[in-house]
Structure 1
């Protein structure tokens, strides 16, 4: 089963989701960060901000055997697990 690419949830440091997504994509790892647009009001202006739907989570599609591509990012992210088994996302 490890030779089949699956979607895995990855926990990141809060507010580092976009950075982790760009780093994964730069290593040819398929990453997905669902976002929505919010409008933030500051003293002098309003700004539209891309906000993650699931704060501190990014989704990656990899073969479990290819984790070595992602391991150098280990300080910024952790795979979501159930006991010792990596939790993959199903429909």
Structure 2
């Protein structure tokens, strides 16, 4: 029972750390390129081009490629996870 609890806590803390990493990477590399202020309405506006998790991943991958952002795949994933958990709430 203790192992199960410890494992669950470890998994939860890894998700939190990844989300914090995603938040920081987003803050460092993404916000500076956009002219529009990045508040909740930027991501949740009615005319959003993103409608699902696949499109969100694709958009982040495009930005990483076009702007030559030097992220590892796990860093890219953490930004996607951050954006999804904070704003989009798409099912994976």
TM-score where L is the length of structure 2: 0.24
TM-score where L is the length of structure 1: 0.24
Query: Which structure carries more strand by proportion?
Result: 1
Query: Which structure carries more helix by proportion?
Result: 2
